[in-house]
Chains A and B, each alone.
Chain A
Amino acid sequence: MTMKAMGIDMSILTESFFIRALLAGLGIALVAGPIGCFIVWRRMAYFGETLAHAGLLGVGFGLLFNINITLGAVVSAVLLALLLLALKRQREIAVDTLLGILSHTALALGLITVGLVTGAVTGHLDILFGDVLTVSRNDVITVWVGAALVLAVIIYLWRDLIAISVHEDLARAEGVNVPWVELAFMLTMAAMTAFAMKIVGLLLITALTVIPAAAARRVSSTPEAMALWSSLFAGIAVIAGLIMSALWGTIAGPSVVLSASLIFVLTLATRQRS
């Protein structure tokens, strides 16, 4: 049975808005791969979530003060990353509790701000869940420039990042400047969150980094292979999710994430490489 016979019009897949969505999504997938690996290696999934929620707060302030919302998201995510870096040094409250508080406070405050400024949060669901099918040519350019910058930083720090992912104290004892590398990585995460906001949405950005990396872990035996597989899986998830969205009208962000989950389930059938 052909697609046409099923009542599905494939011509949508060659429309320019769809091509733009694919290009933007693939740009995000490219950086989501290596960043996701470090999130998995360093057990920072919750931290990524917190950054994303801070991004929403930034969007709220961006709308409130009439500045670029991507810029607002970057600034607030960066500020939150710095705050966390400072708070990690105290020992009164456990770090994950702290993340839980900051993450959801930022989310709540962000939702309220966006709601107050625009009259209704529901008008901005795209920020939460992504609206990749409406990206403009400029959005695509922004994503690729951002992706190139983030990738450049990650490649520059690659050896040090791997060393501190394996054992932070050991890396530090052997001369790696851990606070600086950690800061630089948090900043790239914050930047990626803001760039990916429109594509997969703030609520699901962590999923697009963590799930492909978790799948890649199962089939890789070197850090580099894992980063490449992770980008590849994220890319496949983007393509599959967008096609699903275009053909059946499902929301784009969740469709991409669901595709990534499906890839992960498939990798479970393979033997875990170590």
Chain B
Amino acid sequence: MFELIKPLITTHKLGLTIGNRKLLDDVSMTVREHEIVTIIGPNGAGKSTLVKVMLGLVPQTSGTIQRRENLRVGYVPQRFPVASNVPLSVRRLLTLTIKSADNEIMQALSETGIEHLVNARVAELSGGELQRALLARALLRQPELLVLDEPVQAVDFNGELKLYELISTIRKRRGCGILMVSHDLHMVMAESDRVICLNGHVCCEGRPAAVQKDPEFLKLFGPSAAKMIAAYTHHHDHDHESHGH
């Protein structure tokens, strides 16, 4: 059934070797329209590297990448220096590489809930506000594929929940594909359509429920992680129902 939906980006046996270090090994994966694919894995597993190769920021040493023609990508990078030396307002941050009308800027900002911060200084934003500004920045490009590298870092737990809800809403509203890197297993399991467990190579992949029972997943994260996720997912579902329609 998945195969009927058009792929946005597909990698085939992607490899990256620097010196003697194999950072990526035979990574084959696909992101399609309207799905959230999350890459999880331990530190140093090559999650951000994979994303960078897929975006064309780092050239691969083997394998191929197929992008849909003229694919519009919105990117939120992992590290963004908050205390940047460049004095910037949020409006300016959004329009660094794109010329946009004022109403488009305001719309993108209202979509991520920070309309009121349009004239705020980037250096004065909180962690959550900065992530929302970067997300708005990505949305302004009308992306077909949204690439989010650790979108909830430097955000407190409450803000984290809200950000994941926002990402889920964006997918529903815009129908874009979302490729996300995360180490937060709870949220990932609740909001992703597919999970790719990476440790240089793809250890296992599939629907969250299937992945967390996979022996490879258990080997990487340990059985306690799986139990915690199960407990959380259950709680999360329940919560949803009680506020339901």
Contacts and interface: CB of A to CB of B under 8 A. Distances in A.
* Chain B interface extent, by class: 20 to 34
B50 interface: no
B57 A163 contact: no
B55 interface: yes
Given A221-B121, A274-B123, A166 B96 contact: yes
Contacts, number: 73
Interface string A37-61: 0001101000000000000000000
Interface string B67-88: 0000001010100110011111
A167 B130 CA distance: 14
A173 B85 contact: no
Nearest to B83: A274
A217 B97 contact: no
B19 interface: yes
Nearest to B88: A166
Given A172-B57, A173-B75, A174-B98, A166 B19 contact: no
B18 interface: yes
Contacts of B34: none
A223 B55 contact: no
A91 B57 contact: no
Contacts of B124: 274
A163 B87 contact: no
A226 B57 CA distance: 30
B49 to A, nearest CB: 12
A220 interface: yes
A169 interface: yes
A220 B73 CA distance: 32
Interface in A215-272: 217, 220-223, 225-226
Interface of B: 18-19, 52, 55-57, 73, 75, 77, 80-81, 84-89, 92-93, 96-98, 121-124, 141
Interface of A: 40-41, 43, 91, 159-160, 162-163, 165-167, 169-176, 217, 220-223, 225-226, 273-274
